[in-house]
Amino acid sequence: MLAIIDKQEQTVAHIEKNIIIDAKTNKVTGIMLGHCVYNINAKLICKAFNSAFHDFNGTVLGFIKTSDKHLSFTDKELLDQAWIILMKTKNHAATWIPSLTNWSDKKLSLLLSDSTEN
Q: What is the pLDDT along the chain (118 residues), one digit of tens a residue?
A: 899 999 999 999 999 989 999 999 888 999 999 999 999 999 999 999 999 999 999 999 999 999 887 776 677 888 899 999 999 998 777 778 999 999 999 999 999 998 654 4
Q: What is the pLDDT of residue 117?
A: 47
Q: What is the pLDDT of residue 72?
A: 67
Q: Is residue 118 part of a domain?
A: no
What range defines the domain where residue 21 resides?
A: 2-113
Q: Is residue 18 part of a domain?
A: yes
Please check whether residue 21 is in contact with residue 11, taking contact to mean a CB–CB distance below 8 angstroms. Answer: no
The torsion angles phi and psi of 51, rounded to 5 degrees, stand at 60, 30
Q: Is residue 65 part of a domain?
A: yes
Q: What is the pLDDT of residue 78?
A: 83
Q: Is residue 78 part of a domain?
A: yes
Please check whether residue 88 is in contact with residue 33, taking contact to mean a CB–CB distance below 8 angstroms. Answer: no
Q: What is the pLDDT of residue 116?
A: 53
Q: Is residue 63 part of a domain?
A: yes
Q: What is the pLDDT of residue 86?
A: 94
Domain count, the chain: 1
Say whether 75 sits in a helix, a strand or coil: helix
Which residues have a Cβ under 8 Å from the Cβ of 67 and sit 6 or more positions away? Answer: 1, 2, 3, 11, 14
